[in-house]
Amino acid sequence: MIGIIDYNAGNLKSVESALRFIDTEFIISKKPKDLEKCDKIIFPGVGDAKFAMEQLNKTGFDLFLKNFVAQNKPLLGICLGSQIIFEHSEEGDVKCLGLIKGNIRHIKNVLPKNHEVKIPHMGWNNIYFTKITSNIFKDIKESSDFYFVHSYLIVPQDMNVVCTYTKYGGINIPAGIKSGNINALQFHPEKSGDLGLKVLQNFCKNYL
């Protein structure tokens, strides 16, 4: 069974529709106890990192996620959910979950000098693979397009956790993270058409 965390900061309707389309059983809950027996967890998110962390701490999902990962069960973070699994975010200057070492920075703060780009980074962009592989990208071809909406980016302490990236403003932006039983996507698979559905299907039905 797939569990989806509802912490008042997730784009749940789109994720729910996508999972129904690929015929996947799931449960959505605001209570950690309801998701304890799930085999895999999807951790979506949109909006502000500080607000999201306040909600996670308030509901107990912060400890739930740490315990879930410690049990070696698969976790998929999406967009904001891909960011606050790291240690700290510049958005609200907030301490995050710390499931993976690294920080979240505003895109403008990591751009080369004199580079100006539109913020947020929004729209369809190609992704490119690194030497790190994840089964959630099975049958996804190099340069495939996915849909992004974000102003902050992932800066891992160990770049070897980056399995896919996209190019924007003269820099490589991590698009997919793989660290042990954690996968995380900066783009929105639930808004990325057939290829996004394929990524979700790979996680829900094929990923161990």
CATH 3.20.20.70 fits 2-206, yes or no: no
Determine the straight-line distance between the first and last CA of the chain, rounded to whole angstroms: 13
Residue 5: the pLDDT is 97
150, 163, 188, 204: which one is catalytic?
188
Nearest Cα to Cα of residue 198 among 18, 10, 17: 18
38, 79, 163, 204: which one is catalytic?
79
Residue 158: the pLDDT is 97
Q: Is 121 part of the annotated catalytic residue set?
A: no
> pLDDT for 118-133, tens place per residue?
999 999 999 999 999 9
Residues of the chain with pLDDT under 70: 208
Q: Is 79 part of the annotated catalytic residue set?
A: yes
Residue 208: the pLDDT is 59
Residue ranges of the domains in the chain? 2-206
Q: Is 188 part of the annotated catalytic residue set?
A: yes
Residue 71: the pLDDT is 97
